[in-house]
Structure 1
Amino acid sequence: MNLKLKIAILVIAIIHVTIAIARKSTDGVAHHRLVRLHTMLITSTAMLATSFYIWKRVNFAITTLLPSPNPVGNRRLRLLCFQDIAQALMLLFLFLSHIALFFYYILLGPEPNVIAITSLSFIACYAHILIFLIIADIFYYATKLIHHKVSANSVHTYLHENRSFHILLAVILGFLFMFGGLYTTHTDPVVRKASIPMKICVEQWKCVNCSSFGCSYWTIGWKNENRKDYIIAIAGDLADGLVRDFHGAAEPLCNLKAPGGVYFATGNHEYMHGNVTEWFWFLENCNITVLHNQNKHIKVNGQKLCVAGADDLFAVRAHVPGHGMDLFKALSTCDSDSTNILLAHQPNAAKIVLTNPKLSDKVNLILSGHTHGGQMYPFVPIVHIANAFV
């Protein structure tokens, strides 16, 4: 390890330790901002290692598959080095992937910035390429370990001779998954209908649950106009930013209408990427009921319905004064003879309710979000492991 690398590692370590100490000695908004900064730095530091790994693998494929400059022959072809072009494009891809997190704080507005949307799309592609390269390496080195026990015409021989093509395949698959995801985000959201049996049930009513908005608020508003839902629930993760940046994009939420009301409970992103108090003000001005460890009683066809909402589990870690999940408070005035619905963003919060008899006896239906359905296929197993329900 050379001296420059040692100095770089030492500087990075000092920065992380300094911010960690500052996090412990602050609270409120200052603590919240330091947590966001530290999270971004931790992610960027980890990405330095993974980017080096991706670069070594892809650069090997580039130098193997693409021709180097030819000192003889056509003059124009001598000036055109395909290796240099491919390497430059790969470095640009890695750079844009690295700066993706900064676009949670800059170039924000009602419409996505081209550079921001490209960078944020590349981070998804980056993750897929990393996973596919790791899978390819696992097969490569696993077969290498047993290669001496089998014939020369073994699986490892095939993998070794075609390693560059497998690396190229990993890159192509990463981009295909990225473009598939982009296509999906530009199609109408899928509305899933479910009939849920409840021991206490208000007959003849419908509820729509929206969470972790991956589609435009305009689309959500348009869909609502074509439905006949009695209540609308927004179970957190409204936006990744501040009201001043996204109020224009979020204004279609003000068009949401339902006879029984529109209700909101926080998700982790309200605490990670924005000012939760400002979003409360915005939603209340849109006549959306904010359930901040609170509940509201309404009647449906003469029968009682209690809609409760709890702060997200992440609220405690965010150190926002007055915020933290309090399920007992949220359900405190919900009667046992009414139909009780709880908005709890994370499925793990739902598990807390179901494992506590005092809480579970009060709740007939829990509406959550958070998991994004896995969002990126390689992470689906992790999502299933990390969450009680998906």
Structure 2
Amino acid sequence: MFLECVLTLMSIFVWKNLSSACQDKCQQASTLRLMWKLILILYMMLAHGSYTSNFLLNRTEPTYLGTISYLCLGAHMQMCTFLVIAKAVNFVIRLWKKRPLKDDHTAILAIVYVLSITSYGYYKVCEPPIVKNVTIPLKNLPHSLDGFTITLLSDIHIGPTVGKKQLEVAVEITNNLQSDIVVIDGDLVDGLVSQLRDAVQPLRNIRSKHGIFYVTGNHEYYTMDVENWMETIKELGVQVLHNTNVKVPADKADDNSLCFIGTDDIEADRIRYENHGMKLDTAIKGCSEEQRTILIAHQPKAAKIALQSINKIDLILCGHTHGGQMFPYIISSYLINPFYAGLYQHGDTFIYVSMGTYYWGFPMRIGTQHEITKITLVTV
């Protein structure tokens, strides 16, 4: 309801600025004016209906209607952003007592900009994820683990605009990397198991030497179907780390192994999801002081919580931010997250934040890139 209220305000703003575009030039063409207003209404109706796609249009593959609705939502965001900036520029021009842009010219520029930037953003998400290679030097890493590799997948968001074929592409890229382990760092799905069971089946084809591990993200909790998702993911051969840890390699002594710790997403704490929540003290129990510890936690805010705790963590793997996915969300994403994207160091602890394997909702990326990350641990 809150999001729809915000969208309504945006729609009113857009309507006031665009519904009368070129009215002076089209006074005699009432049919053209009517058609233009109908196009605006249809476009805004599709944008408003995008969230409904999460409930009604979740299929194994994205539907045309779901994709178009979310494209209209993304275009709506871009349109509002452009018009706000144009209004601000015109205000400054007036302060300098210069002639501002005419409303008709502003409207035409806005339409051209939105069509161009939306097409570009859609083109970017149609490309497969890039492989980002990251080398992390861990203090006191055993020499037997020098060169240990982790493939990090995050924010796949299977739902109304991401489907089985895209997951198959990600799995193929992952297998080609031949990493020691694979980590799925939350926000895998945006729907119920009953809707998306077939779409996640490619996960069973992931290959790694020492296993595949998964933790929840905030969007799993929005589905209200977390328990069923955990069982389904286990059936696909993926180990769920539900405030637990695992030793890797399992057949090695503690001083020659890593302890991978997985915690539930902190959104479970906020919405008080029963028997879920970030319980780091519980999750880390059993990890030896001789082991290097690697925490898998979806949100960078969880990384901050871990850093403020008494627990010693050598590496934290996160996702969630998408790098903002597109302007202007890049700004808010940077400001509200303690770690935005890429590699950070806090004392002896490293934090890596993925921009996401795919994207949420609107199939657009502007100024960001979806990625599959291959992390190589080296001894220092």
Kindly state the Cα deviation for residue 323 of structure 1 after the two structures are TM-superposed. Answer: 0.5
1:136 to 86, 94, 99: 86
Deviations 1:326-367 (A, max 9, x none): 1111112212211211101001111111233x12x2x11111
Code of the residue aligned with 1:57 in structure 2: it is N
- Structure with more helix by fraction: 1
Partner of 1:287: 237
Deviations 1:257-276 (A, max 9, x none): 21111000111000013411
Indicate conservation of the 8 Å contact 2:4/2:48, yes or no: yes
Indicate conservation of the 8 Å contact 2:21/2:107, yes or no: yes
Code of the residue aligned with 2:28 in structure 1: it is P
Corresponding residue pairs, total? 327
Partner of 2:20: 60
Code of the residue aligned with 2:17 in structure 1: it is R
The alignment status of 1:174 with 2:114, answered yes or no, reads: yes
Q: Measured at CA, do residues 334 and 91 of structure 1 come closer, stay the same or move farther in structure 2, by a change above 3 Å?
A: same
Code of the residue aligned with 1:204 in structure 2: it is G
Give the 3-state SS of the residue equivalent to 1:195 in structure 2. strand
| Distance of 1:278 and 1:114 partners within structure 2 | 28
Kindly state the Cα deviation for residue 230 of structure 1 after the two structures are TM-superposed. Answer: 0.3
Partner of 2:351: none
| Distance of 2:248 and 2:44 partners within structure 1 | 53
Partner of 2:131: 191
2:156 to 213, 228, 231: 213
Give the 3-state SS of the residue equivalent to 2:197 in structure 1. helix
| Distance of 2:38 and 2:27 partners within structure 1 | 14
| Distance of 2:68 and 2:223 partners within structure 1 | 20
Give the 3-state SS of the residue equivalent to 1:206 in structure 2. strand
Partner of 2:335: 385
Partner of 1:337: 290
| Distance of 1:278 and 1:84 partners within structure 2 | 49
Higher relative contact order (CA 8 A, sep 6+): 2
- Structure with more strand by fraction: 2
| Distance of 1:84 and 1:254 partners within structure 2 | 53
Indicate conservation of the 8 Å contact 1:200/1:337, yes or no: no
Q: TM-score, normalised by structure 2?
A: 0.82
Q: Measured at CA, do residues 108 and 222 of structure 1 come closer, stay the same or move farther in structure 2, by a change above 3 Å?
A: same
Structure (1 or 2) with the larger CA radius of gyration: 1
| Distance of 1:62 and 1:348 partners within structure 2 | 48
Code of the residue aligned with 1:275 in structure 2: it is D
2:33 to 83, 104, 108: 83
| Distance of 1:261 and 1:84 partners within structure 2 | 60
| Distance of 2:191 and 2:64 partners within structure 1 | 17
Partner of 1:349: 302
2:146 to 197, 203, 213: 203
The alignment status of 1:69 with 2:28, answered yes or no, reads: yes
The alignment status of 1:317 with 2:267, answered yes or no, reads: no
Kindly state the Cα deviation for residue 293 of structure 1 after the two structures are TM-superposed. Answer: 0.7
| Distance of 2:208 and 2:33 partners within structure 1 | 59
| Distance of 2:211 and 2:22 partners within structure 1 | 58
| Distance of 1:177 and 1:289 partners within structure 2 | 40
| Distance of 2:91 and 2:261 partners within structure 1 | 53
| Distance of 2:237 and 2:261 partners within structure 1 | 17
Code of the residue aligned with 2:103 in structure 1: it is R
Q: Which moved more, 1:126-135 or 1:43-52?
A: 43-52
| Distance of 1:169 and 1:300 partners within structure 2 | 60
Kindly state the Cα deviation for residue 178 of structure 1 after the two structures are TM-superposed. Answer: 1.9
Partner of 1:47: 7
- When the two chains are superposed, the root-mean-square deviation of aligned CA atoms in Å is 1.7
| Distance of 1:203 and 1:354 partners within structure 2 | 25
Indicate conservation of the 8 Å contact 2:294/2:317, yes or no: yes
| Distance of 1:301 and 1:124 partners within structure 2 | 49
Q: TM-score, normalised by structure 1?
A: 0.80
The alignment status of 1:111 with 2:61, answered yes or no, reads: yes
Q: 1:152-171, aligned counterparts within 5 Å?
A: 154=98, 157=99, 159-160=100-101, 162-171=102-111
| Distance of 1:250 and 1:62 partners within structure 2 | 48
Deviations 1:51-101 (A, max 9, x none): 01100001132424x52335xxxxxxxxx7222211111110011001111
Indicate conservation of the 8 Å contact 2:17/2:103, yes or no: no
Give the 3-state SS of the residue equivalent to 2:20 in structure 1. helix
| Distance of 2:183 and 2:84 partners within structure 1 | 40
Q: Measured at CA, do residues 287 and 129 of structure 1 come closer, stay the same or move farther in structure 2, by a change above 3 Å?
A: same
Indicate conservation of the 8 Å contact 2:243/2:279, yes or no: yes
The alignment status of 1:277 with 2:227, answered yes or no, reads: yes
Indicate conservation of the 8 Å contact 2:178/2:207, yes or no: no
2:72 to 109, 113, 122: 122
Indicate conservation of the 8 Å contact 1:97/1:120, yes or no: yes
2:216 to 252, 260, 266: 266
Kindly state the Cα deviation for residue 382 of structure 1 after the two structures are TM-superposed. Answer: 0.5
Kindly state the Cα deviation for residue 287 of structure 1 after the two structures are TM-superposed. Answer: 1.3
